Structure formats: C-alpha cells, structure tokens
Structure 1
Amino acid sequence: MTDRPLKQIHLAAHFPGVNNTTVWSDPAAGSHIEFSSFRHLAQTAERGKFDFFFLAEGLRLRETKGLIHDLDVVGRPESITVLNALAAVTERLGLAATVNATFNEPYELARRFASLDHLSGGRAAWNVVTSSDAFTGENFRRGGYLDRADRYTRAAESVQLAREFWDAGEEPVRHSGPQFEVEGRLSLPRPPQGHPVVIQAGDSDEGREFAAATADVVFSRHSTLADGQAFHADVKRRLAAYGRKPDELKIMPGVTFVLGDTDAEADERAREIRRAQVSPQTAIAFLEQVWGVDLSDHDPDGPLPAVDPDPDSGLVQGRVRHADPVAVAERWRAVAAEKKLTSRELVIELTGRQSFIGAPATVAAEIDRFVQSDAADGFILVPHLTPGGLDEFVDRVVPLLQERGVFRTDYTGPTLRDHLGLPVPGLR
C-alpha cells in the first residue's frame, strides 16, 4: 500500500452501437436514431456527474456476403449533429464525437469541433479514428486510396493542423506537411477549452505512441488487472518524451456492467445477456469474419468449422480483418478444445468486453480497485440497453463510489477539461 491520496475515478457513458452490445430482443431496447434515446442516456450520465457522453460512428454499415447483418446496428446519425443537439439539453456533461481523420479535412474538423465547443460552453471532445479499407472509402470521392502505413501519419497531422487553426485567432495558418498544404483562417474565435479534448483508441505500438504524443484520453480494451496495469505503465512512460506529465493523459477502458441484488443474481443475469447478445446468427457472422467462407449451414451449437480459413476472402466487409486468420482459427480451436465449447459458446467467451458483474457494492469496489491499482484512470461504460441501460448504475453504484470519496458529488467547473483535470493549452 502507498500513502498517496486516493485517485479520483473518471467515468463516461458510451451510447451503444456499431457493435453487438445491444440486446435488441429485450422489450426495454429502444431506438438508436430517435433523439429521445440520446437525450435520455446523456441526461442520465449528467445526473451521475459523468465526465462525458461518447458517440461511436461507422461510416458504412458492415456487410457479410453483401448483406447487412440484421442483428447489428442498422443506421446511425452523424455524431456531431447529435451532440450539437444534446448541448442544448445538458449543462455540464462533456460531448465526445468519433470522427474519422482519413475521410475529413483538418479545417473542416477544426471548425466543426470549435463550433461544438462554443455552443456547449467548452464541452467538446474529438475521438480520432482512422480507416484504410477501400470498402469504407467507396462512400467517398478518394475511395480507399490511403495505405495502412499512412493512417497515423495523416491522423497526427490532422490533429496538429486542427490545433493550429484553434490557436491562430485572426492570424493566417500556413502549413506544409506530408499530407496537407494549407493556408487560411478559421471562421471562429479560439474554442473555450483552447483545444477540444482529443481521445484516441489505438492499441498497436504506433497507436500508443500517437496517444502519448497527441491524446488527452485513451479508450483502451484491456480486460484484466495485470493487462491494464501493463498498458497504463507503458503509455504513461512514453509521455516524458513529449514533455508531458502522467496526469495529462487519462486511460479509460471501455467496459460493460451487470448488476444484481446479489453477486449470484448478477452472474446469472450476465450469462443471459451474453447469450442474447450473441445469437446463433451473430455467432456465425463472427466465425465468417475469421474463416472468410460461407458458413450458413454451420451448426452454431456444434464444434468449430473443420475447413481452413481463406486469408484473402472478401466475404466480410467493414469489420476488422485479422492479419493472420489461420493463426486466429488455430488459437480459437485450442480454446474450444480446452474448455469444451461449442462455436457459439466460444464466440461468447472471446468477444465480450471487460465486465464488472455483481451486486452494486461489489462493482463499486472492483472499479475502485482497478483505478487505485493504476490499471486505469476510469472507465467508459457501455450499457447493453438503449436508452435506459445506465439508469441502474447511476442510481446504485455512483452513490457508493461517492461514499468512498473517489468520485465527485458535483461538477467543480463548466468544461470537460475541468472534469478531466486537464490544463488549458497555451497558444503555440
């Protein structure tokens, strides 16, 4: 044990979508398009004094065999449009939009996020993502032109150039780089936060370096205490090379949660939720993502496919394609054999996010343990229901974290940088 003060926990709310998190079969599941759903979840997060509300985004719906998987998210409004509307019905909650740096121009990004920051009084955040696949690029004039090796080069320069626009005021921006040649002026004053908060989600070595150089928040996926501690230490260690202090970057894994009156009740409820999230059809879609062959006739309640994967298949479009499908399939077969799992059971086992499961006191204690042990600085919560999936956590877990003295009882400042304890950057 150390004598350092208790770390304060950071919490954010992720509007579920562009994944298989939502349990569509639950009668309480609502729309992912109607504004009332976004408003309810955001206002619940603000009632819980969360740092920010986080929207993912997909520029094209994912396809298998040329068809949209009807148990996936079908349709999603543009993120900044939704957040501009939410700025009018919230007062303190940060508003984080995922916007692709590959298919947007830095001036456009700088102007849109400056607008959101002004309209919200300093609550905007940009989750910077990249794309190198031609499938997504078909929706754009440039197509899939960008080599995978260039995606972080373009993203880093996009953020750099956006910050130049935010800092410039009435002065012209003159920028010459490998991706952009720009000379112009932003049409708005400097944003209230100086720079809107930058979030990043890459876990590769280049992604970690990009985060250390550029990001204010990292959206990570590490699921165990040891893995979280290793990631936390590695990324924080890299900050010094860029003249940054450890507390200038917050690491916030995306997690799910399931509550019950007892730990046993929560465990049973969690099993039911995972089976609802991974239907037989969804399990087959995940198998086809690895195998790259049509598995329509495969029994999801039987063993894994006996055939070898097709590494060059174009069967699945828009989902992450594993670099070595043959190696992934062999690893999956080993896990299935060791644990005696069917195809569907294996997908359930391998595709779940890190979860906090238990009675409210158990979940509060585990969240606190991860943060005090430097496995994270906080968490981005992904509920399995929209729009009411966060209500129970705010009502039953947040008060326990507040009693522990590790989570705010009220906001202490108006901006997202205030909530995250981040400095306002000086003019460059």
Structure 2
Amino acid sequence: MSKPQKQIHLAAHFPGVNNTTVWSDPRAGSHIDFGSFTHFARTAERAKFDFLFLAEGLRLREHAGEIYDLDVVGRPDTFTVLAALAAVTEHLGLTGTINSTFNEPYEVARQFASLDHLTEGRAAWNVVTSWDAFTGENFRRGGFLPQEERYTRAAEFLATAHELFDSWRGDEILADPATGTFLGDAKAGAFVHSGRHFDIQGRFNVPRSPQGRPVIFQAGDSDEGREFAASDADAIFSRYATLEEGQAFYADVKRRLARYGRRPEQLKILPAATFALGDTDAEAEELAREVRRQQVSGATALRHLEFVWNRDLSAYDPDGPLPDIDPLVSDGHIAEGRAQVRMYRDPLATAREWRERAAAHGWSIRDLVINTGNRQNFVGSPETIARSIDALVQADAADGFILVPHLTPGGLDAFADRVVPLLQERGVFRTEYEGPTLRHHLGLEHPDGSGAARAA
C-alpha cells in the first residue's frame, strides 16, 4: 500500500536582525516601517501560508566594541508588530520569538493570551533562551545563568506559562467568549507555582483563549533543545534543509516524542530555507551567485573571519589569501555581540580546514566566506523548486519550510505567485484555509484534547 502524500506546511520569516537580507539592493525597503510588515504579511496570507515568523533582537549587535553596521540591526517590539498585523490579516498565524531567559512567565503568558484573543486563535510563541551576558546587561543580570541551566529555566518557564493559560480551564463556562464578561467560578484564573526559578501565585486575568494556549515553537539544535521540543513544543525550527541531514534530524526528534507519550504528528519540523527563483534553472543559479556576493561584501568577509580568528583583520585584503597567523584563543572575544561567536568551538581546527579548502580551490578570503557560509537552499525555476520542496517533505526530511527571502518586503511575491500554484496542482498544499486558527493550519490538536483547535 502506497504511503499517502503529506501536506506541505509553508511559513514566511520576515528577514531582519541577520545578514540574509540584501538591504543594499535598490528594491529593498525598510525593516521598521509598518508598510513593509503589512506587504510581507499580506503576501504570505494571499499564498495561504500557515504563519509569519518574527525573530527577536534584544540589543544592537556589536563587534570590537562598535555597532555592527554591515547588515540589518534592530527590530521593533515583537508584540507591537504582531498585534498591529492582526488588524490587517484574517487567517495568517502570527509567531513571535520571546526570550525565556530575561522575561517572566506571567507577563509573557498574558501577552500571548491577549494576542490569541486579538487574532481569534492565530498566535504562536517561539520559546528561546539566551546564553550571553552581553544581552543580559540590558536586563541588569547579565550572565546570571550558567549555560547548562538555560533549558532548565526555559522548561519551568513554559510549564508555568501553561499553568497560567490553563487556570481558566474548566467544564463550566467561565467567560463569554465574545465579550470576555466574567460569568462565574470563584477559582477562575487562580494559580500557584513554586519551583526553582519561579515562586508565584495569584490570578491570571486573561480568560481561556481560542487555541487554549498559543502554538509553541522551539529553535534549539542541541541535544537539550531537541529534548525540550520533544517534551512540550508543537513545532521545532531546523537548520537542516538537505535530504540526508534533514532526514537524520527528523528521525531523531520524532523518535524522542514517545518517551513523553506523544505521537509523531504532534510535532512539526520546519527548517528555515532561502531560495533563488528564475525563469530557468540557469538564470536562478546566476541570481544565487549574485545574491551571495551582495550578502558578503569585502568588509563583511573580514568581519566573518574575525569570528574565528578573534583578531582585528581589517589590514588584510578580502580578495587576498587567508591570514597565516593562527586564531587567538581566549575567554574574551572580539565579537561578543554576535551570535556566530559560538558557532566555531575549535577555532584552530576551523582555521586549518579553511586554509586547506582555500588553497585547494584558489579562494580568497571573500571567496571562502561566500562558499562556506549560508547558501540558497532552493535554486531553480518554479517547477524545479516546487519539485524539490515536495520531494524533501515526502521523504520525511521536513514537514514544511519557513522561507526567508533575501529582499524585504517584496522578496516573497514571486514565490507566492509562481511556486505555490504548482504545489497546489500537485495536491500537496492548500488552496483555501480550512479552519480559523493556527492549530487548524498546522493540523494540531487543541490542548484540551478535543481534536483540531476550536473556533473562537
């Protein structure tokens, strides 16, 4: 008996706080003007995507003690943007990244419960942790948690938030779902939590929302992150968008669900993916090369090399050979304010490998960074990209993809107009939204165990 076709899940990541976007392109727009967010969200909804995703930037990034100004920095407040987008969309899920290291459960639960009401059941929370004292300085407690305890706090944070969401749960009606008017039950909203990280009690003042709880996303790739996702998340982001790596990640995370009494379909695996779309495969390949060179200027290449070398390399020619000096290994780092600092656990080994690859291919510093950095995951004509996405999902390398275009806000338009119809023709992507909530879009059960999420 043949295996039934899986339905593909698609989402859109508004590209900011990273160097994926080509902000210097004349077609690029503002990353803070609301019109950019509106255009992007309406395109995603027109294409019947599951949700829009916002990352979070809690501090301007720095490099060698100065603001890092070679890619987009900064981001308006996540909840403010998502609440505003609720008014200009009707079906699109709205997902925000909110940190569990520097926030408090009551405040975050109240904000997400409110957003779920405002959107009539379209809210989602990407639960992340933060390892660095650099960001923590904004909260007057930089470095207050050892790295190994981040997920311990995150797990208790999420459990506490769930207790708050569920404090209005009961067989009897506690509030009018249309007006929020309180209808009875002296226990409504009452909560008590006493644990290692949080000791709180009181009344939660937001009634049960349409989804019961927001959809929970998790983004960690470590063993602790995978376990955290398997225990309590509805979806996990992945950086593995190739067949072999994607299948390995998919099988590993899905396998962990059983120990928590969960089924494979209760956790969606959604890698982030970039794309270069052309009329032909050859045209798309040329566009991909152009985009990579736009993303990696000479100055950007030198800064990237400094992540590994931990030295000021500004005197080197980005179009020349790699430095012959070794990386400086120390507790401090030239790029404390950049996430890439911890990507290279063994800088001496990385430097040796890079020198060997550069020598073998005749690469300059800039060539090396271009060829070892992020690459477009999907490159080709609309037919090629649709076929590639479908093949990866059907092969259990993913349940779908979170697309990150290189242009803001119009970079998603061509994909919506040219690739989505081909996926629909294949019968693997919706032509209309089938339910009102994000849980419906993702095929997730309501937390009450009542099947798909209930309508508001």
TM-score, length-scaled by structure 2: 0.91
Q: Pick from 319, 324, 331: which aligns with 2:338?
A: 319
Q: Which is further off, 336-345 or 263-272?
A: 336-345
Paired position in structure 2 for 1:257:
275
**Paired residue for 1:293?**
311
Rounded to whole Å, the distance in 2 between the matches of 1:137 and 1:246 is: 36
Distance 2:432 2:282 in 1: 33
391-400 vs 212-221, which deviates more?
Answer: 212-221
Q: Paired residue for 1:351?
A: 373
Aligned pair count? 426
Q: Distance in 2 between matches of 1:185 and 1:330?
A: 58
SS for the counterpart of 1:184 is: strand
Of stretches 275-284 and 168-177 in structure 1, the one that deviates more from structure 2 is 168-177
Contact 1:225 1:375 in 2 (8 A): yes
**Counterpart for residue 204 of structure 1:** 222
Deviation larger for 24-33 or 81-90: 24-33
Cross-structure match for 1:400: 422
In structure 2, the partner of 1:175 is 193
Letter in 2 for 1:300: P
Contact 2:86 2:118 in 1 (8 A): yes
Counterpart of 2:264 in structure 1 is 246
Q: Distance in 1 between matches of 2:147 and 2:360?
A: 36
CA distance in 2, matches of 1:128, 1:391: 29
Give the equivalent residue in structure 2 for 1:380.
402
Q: CA offset at residue 223 of structure 1?
A: 3.4
Whether contact under 8 Å (1:254, 1:353) holds in the other structure is no
How far 1:270 moved relative to its partner? 0.6
| Deviation digits for residues 223-242 of structure 1 (CA, Å, limit 9, x no counterpart) | 32100000000000000001
Aligned to 1:223: 241
Paired residue for 2:443, among 421, 425, 428? Answer: 421
- Displacement after TM superposition at 1:338 (Å): 3.2
Native 8 Å contact 2:164 2:189 kept in 1: no
Q: Report the Cα distance in structure 1 between the residues aligned to 2:77 and 2:118, rounded to whole angstroms.
A: 17
Q: Which portions of structure 1, spanning 4 or more consecutive aligned residues, are displaced by more than 6 angstroms?
A: none
User: 1:338-382, CA deviations, whole angstroms, 9 ceiling, x for partnerless residues?
Assistant: 333221111111221451000000000000000000000000000
User: Aligned ranges for residues 31-42 of structure 1 at < 5 Å?
Assistant: 31-42=30-41
Tell me which amino acid in the other structure corresponds to 1:44.
T
The one-letter code sitting in structure 2 at the alignment partner of 1:109 is: V
**Which sits farther off after the overlay, 98-107 or 334-343?**
334-343
Q: CA deviation at 1:401?
A: 0.1
Q: Residue 287 of structure 1 aligns to a residue in which SS? A: helix
Q: In the alignment, is the contact (CA less than 8 A) between 2:18 and 2:73 conserved in 1?
A: no
* CA drift at 1:426: 1.6
Query: Is the contact between residue 276 and residue 376 of structure 2 (CA under 8 Å) also seen in structure 1?
Result: no
Conservation of the 8 A alpha-carbon contact between 2:9 and 2:429:
yes
Which sits farther off after the overlay, 318-327 or 131-140?
A: 318-327
Offset of 1:325 from its aligned partner? Answer: 1.9
Q: Which amino acid aligns with 1:368?
A: D
Instruction: For residues 47-66 of structure 1, give each alpha carbon's deviation from its aligned partner in whole angstroms, at most 9, with x where no partner exists.
Output: 00000000001111211111
* Matching residue within 255, 261, 268 for 1:237: 255
Q: Distance in 2 between matches of 1:143 and 1:115?
A: 29
Q: Alpha-carbon deviations, 1:129-151, whole Å to 9, x = none?
A: 11121111111122221110111
Give the Å deviation of 1:173. Answer: 1.3
Per the TM alignment, residue 324 of structure 1 is displaced from its structure 2 partner at its CA by: 2.2
* Alignment TM-score, normalising by the size of structure 1: 0.97
Summarize deviations over 1:243-284 as a string: whole Å, max 9, x none: 111011010100001111100000001100000011111111
Alpha-carbon deviations, 1:28-50, whole Å to 9, x = none? 10000000000000000000000
Q: What are the Cα deviations for residues 105-164 of structure 1, in whole angstroms up to 9, with x where unaligned?
A: 011110010011000000001111111211111111222211101111111111111011
Tell me what 2:43 maps to: 44
Counterpart code for 1:425: P
5 Å matches for 1:99-138? 99-138=98-137
Q: Name which of structure 1's ranges 360-369 and 349-358 shifts more when overlaid on structure 2.
A: 349-358
Bigger Cα Rg? 2
Instruction: Determine the C-alpha separation between the residues in 1 that align with 2:220 and 2:350.
Output: 20
AA of the residue aligned to 1:384: H
For residue 304 of structure 1, what is the aligned residue in structure 2?
322
The letter for the 1-side match of 2:444 is L
Counterpart of 1:253 in 2: which secondary structure? strand
Contact 1:221 1:353 in 2 (8 A): no
> Retained in 2: the 8 A contact 1:356–1:366?
yes
Give the deviation of 1:311 after TM superposition: 2.3
> Using the alignment, how far apart are the partners of 1:123 and 1:285 within structure 2?
39
> Counterparts of 1:68 and 1:126 in 2: how far apart (Å)?
29
Letter of the 1:279 partner, please give it.
S
What amino acid sits opposite 1:400 in the alignment?
L
- CA 354–153 in structure 1, closer or farther in 2 if over 3 Å, else same: farther
Alpha-carbon separation, structure 2, partners of 1:233 and 1:199: 18
Question: Match for residue 205 of structure 2?
Answer: 187
Distance 1:181 1:324 in 2: 40
- 1:68-83 paired onto structure 2 within 5 Å: 68-83=67-82
Letter of the aligned partner of 1:253 in structure 2?
A: P
Q: Is the 8 A contact 1:201 1:207 kept in 2?
A: yes
Deviation string 1:42-97 (CA, Å, 9 cap, x unpaired) is 00000000000000011112111111222221321011110000000000000000
